[in-house]
Amino acid sequence: MHNTLYKASVRAAITAALLAGSAAQAGTINIESWRVDDKTLWEDVLIPAFQKKNPGIQVKFTPTAPTEYDSSLTARLAGGTAGDLITCRPFDKSLDLFKKGQLEKLDGKPGMEYFPASAKVAWQTDDGKNTYCMPMASVMHGFFYNKKIFKDLNLKEPKTQAEFFAALETLKKAGKTPIALGTADQWESNQIVFTSIGANAWKGEEGRKALIAGKAKFTDPQFVAAWEQMAKWGPYMGKGASAQTYADSQNLFAMGKAGIYPAGSWDIAYFNQQGLDFGAFPPPVAKAGDKCYISDHTDIGMGINPKAKNKAEAYKFLAWLGSQEFADLYTNKVTGFFSLSNHLISVKDPVAKQMLDWRKSCGSTIRLNAQIMNRGEPAMENELWNVSSQVLNGKMAPKDAAAKIQTGFAKWHKPQQK
């Protein structure tokens, strides 16, 4: 394995050297990102818009595949060859970089004033004294449904869980796959399903903060309830869901073979491209009249590399990221990512607008384990992928899933050890 390890670092070094070479020309700033899908958009829309205001500054968007982003960025930062602007993951990943001195402190820098405190939390030290990334956008979770199928079967957007399961049953009888969801890639089980549908049960921020403060446990009914719902999904997930990948689920829904798709807002762009007629509804509540909660997750930010070669230009770019113009462009062009700024923006895409309107009636919360809870060993995010997938597959009982996560959490989180 040592040679594999070494190969990786040699490759990182070579890539870095190449990047450094291209960065040598004066005034070019490089942006590190995991948003490979948005490369054309940055090159054709966002960067030209910036250059119109700031002529002479060259900007290069150099994304790495999401699964490799964190490791290759770490290698490049350690080697001193990373780009000038660093796209930030929320919470601990970026906090870790800041602690190592690999991100600049941004408090008071131009552009930062346009963001509310709630948006900045994802990129602040625990005491709130240092902010190291500018919030860019959040993603929201809920369900998409195929409008044509719903119309044909005379179904309405389900508001309660009873209506939701009734709709699933109708879809199943009609020979459609009720839920387009698989567990081969595992991450959807947690990021799109568990922390999304569960928010109603644990009352969003209230439940999340209670876990961090040690006032609630994963084994409490409000958390087990989320897994209990998921355990009932199995029969509606279509044959062979255990080997179904995320791309399979997307295709299944895009082809009109499935009625409901548990979604992240970023999926809007993909299904629009496929020309699908679809709508969205938030996770159904337990009984009519309950307050709804949605997973409205601060997902993406932008920071500055302290060793940036063109720091002045990078700050100019960052100031532009805080502007009304960027917020508007990003929200409307990168459909499904919602600006976190205070600027007033009109959202043009109908489904995106529908999702954004949930904020008016539902309480927003971030992904359950995103803050602090991911910090220890065993890594909770990875554990949640595993147990949630098993619950969906009917291989693990909801209460066992809860017990496993709670044991791991209590192992290192002091407030949970009381």
Partner 1 sequence: MSYGAIPSSPPLTVMDVGFSRRCVPSTTAGSFYFRNIALAMPAMDFVWELAMKRMPWHIAVFLAPAVLLYSVFSALPLLDTLRLGFFTSNDAGQTSFVGLANYITILTDPAWSESFWNAMWNNCKFFLIHLLIQNPIGLILATLLSLKGLKGARHYRTLIFLPTLLSVVIIGFIWQLILSPLWGVSEGLLDKVGLVDYFAPWLGEEGSALITLALISVWQFVGIPMMLIYAALLAVPEDIVEAAHVEGASAWRIFWEIKLPLILPTLGLVTILTFVGNFNAFDLIYSVKGAIAGPNYSTDILGTLFYRTFFGYQSQIGSPTMGAAVATLMFLVILAGVGAYFYFVQRKLTRYEL
Residue closer to partner 1 by CB (options 54, 242) is: 242
Member of 21, 128, 240, 350 binding partner 1 (CB under 8 A): 240
Question: Stretches 1-9, 25-33, 36-44, 209-217: which one binds partner 1 (CB under 8 A)?
Answer: 1-9
- The least distance separating partner 1 from the CB of residue 19, rounded to whole angstroms, comes to 19
Member of 22, 342, 382, 417 binding partner 1 (CB under 8 A): 382
| 37 binds partner 1, rule: CB under 8 A | no
Residue closer to partner 1 by CB (options 77, 347) is: 77
Residue closer to partner 1 by CB (options 31, 180) is: 180
| 71 binds partner 1, rule: CB under 8 A | yes
| 8 binds partner 1, rule: CB under 8 A | yes
Q: Which residues of 171-199 are buried (b: 16+ CB within 10 A; e: fewer)?
A: bbeeebbbbbbbbbebbbbbbbbbbbbbb
Residue with tokens 């994963």: 218
Question: Stretches 27-35, 220-228, 262-270, 387-395: which one binds partner 1 (CB under 8 A)?
Answer: 387-395
| 380 binds partner 1, rule: CB under 8 A | yes
Residue closer to partner 1 by CB (options 239, 360) is: 239
| 67 binds partner 1, rule: CB under 8 A | yes
| 242 binds partner 1, rule: CB under 8 A | yes
Member of 19, 51, 79, 92 binding partner 1 (CB under 8 A): 92
Member of 185, 220, 290, 349 binding partner 1 (CB under 8 A): 185
| 369 binds partner 1, rule: CB under 8 A | yes
Member of 13, 62, 93, 307 binding partner 1 (CB under 8 A): 93
| 200 binds partner 1, rule: CB under 8 A | no
Residue closer to partner 1 by CB (options 162, 243) is: 243
Q: What is the 3-state secondary structure (H, E, C) of the chain?
A: CHHHHHHHHHHHHHHHHHHHHHHCCCCEEEEEECCHHHHHHHHHHHHHHHHHHCCCCEEEEEECCHHHHHHHHHHHHHCCCCCCEEEECCCHHHHHHHHCCCCCCCCCCCCHHHCCHHHHHHHECCCCCCECCEEEEEEEEEEEEEHHHHHHCCCCCCCEHHHHHHHHHHHHHCCCEEECCCCCCCHHHHHHHHHHHHHHHCCCHHHHHHHHHCCCCCCCHHHHHHHHHHHCCHHHCCCCHHHCCHHHHHHHHHCCCEEEEEEECCHHHHHHHCCCCEEEECCCECCCCCCCEEEEEEEEEEEECCCCCCHHHHHHHHHHHCCHHHHHHHHHHCCCCEECCCCCCCCCCHHHHHHHHHHHHCEEECCCCCCCHHHCCCCHHHHHHHHHHHHHCCCCCHHHHHHHHHHHHHHHCHHHHC
Q: What is the spatial distance between Cα 197 and Cα 263, in angstroms, rounded to a whole number?
A: 11
Member of 252, 285, 321, 410 binding partner 1 (CB under 8 A): 252
Question: Stretches 17-25, 27-35, 245-253, 286-294: which one binds partner 1 (CB under 8 A)?
Answer: 245-253
Query: Which residues 94-133 are close enough to bind partner 1 by CB under 8 A?
Result: 96, 99-101
Taking the mean position of all CA atoms in its chain, how far away is CA 263? 11
Residue closer to partner 1 by CB (options 240, 350) is: 240
- The least distance separating partner 1 from the CB of residue 245, rounded to whole angstroms, comes to 7
Member of 164, 268, 408, 410 binding partner 1 (CB under 8 A): 408
Q: What is the spatial distance between Cα 198 and Cα 211, in angstroms, rounded to a whole number?
A: 14
Question: Stretches 34-42, 203-211, 218-226, 382-390: which one binds partner 1 (CB under 8 A)?
Answer: 382-390
| 348 binds partner 1, rule: CB under 8 A | no
> Contact residues for partner 1 (CB under 8 A)?
1-8, 10, 67-68, 70-71, 74, 78, 92-93, 96, 99-101, 182-187, 238-245, 248, 251-252, 369, 374-375, 377-382, 385-386, 389-390, 393, 395, 408, 411
